[in-house]
């Protein structure tokens, strides 16, 4: 892989990370106001936002390689769904008690898919504008 390809991947990763993080922070704000959830301490919130950025960054870099110059919409949707499900189902691995809270698990999955969808839309916009080149 050439250095130009690496630069395009970093550009895609940064855009995806920022888009995912903005969507995630908006969802957190909605959750805190809607569900009257107490605001987590600053360190915990910072870790969550950092993980959100990393998730978006890795998604964007991978998405760029997955779609290449392919026009297959199912492939694009599948990438979003796969990343969203993996991130949304993490609580299942962390706790066996999560099965008693199907609603919360569903909300986490939907939130993850929405965040990855926002990152995808931003990436597609940048690809169409020529700001980021598709992997060739």
Each residue of 98-130: pLDDT tens digit?
666 677 778 888 999 999 999 999 999 999 999
How does the average pLDDT of the chain come out, rounded?
87
- Which tops the pLDDT comparison, 89 or 74? 74
Whole-model pTM: value is 0.87
SS3 content of the chain, % helix, strand, coil (to 5): 80, 0, 20
85: exposed, middle or buried (Cβ count in 10 Å: 0-12, 13-18, 19+): middle
- Cα 104 to Cα 98: distance, rounded to the nearest angstrom: 8
Which DSSP symbol is given to 70?
-
136: exposed, middle or buried (Cβ count in 10 Å: 0-12, 13-18, 19+): exposed
Q: Which residue has the tokens 């969507």?
A: 23
- Cα 88 to Cα 115: distance, rounded to the nearest angstrom: 11
| Reported confidence tier of residue 40, pLDDT bands at 50, 70, 90 | low
* pLDDT of 39 over the 60 cut: no
């Amino acid at each position: 892989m050439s250095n130009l390809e690496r630069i395009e991947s970093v550009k895609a990763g940064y855009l995806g990370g920022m888009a995912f993080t903005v969507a995630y922070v908006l969802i957190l704000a909605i959750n805190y106001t809607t569900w009257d959830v107490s605001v987590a301490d600053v360190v915990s919130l910072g870790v969550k936002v950092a993980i959100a950025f990393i998730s978006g960054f890795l998604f964007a870099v991978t998405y760029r390689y997955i779609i290449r110059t392919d026009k297959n919409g199912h492939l694009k949707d599948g990438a979003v769904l796969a990343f969203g499900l993996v991130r949304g189902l993490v609580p299942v691995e962390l706790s066996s008690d999560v099965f008693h809270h199907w609603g919360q698990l569903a909300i986490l999955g939907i939130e993850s898919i929405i965040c990855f969808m926002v990152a995808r839309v931003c990436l597609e916009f940048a690809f169409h504008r020529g700001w980021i080149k598709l992997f060739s």
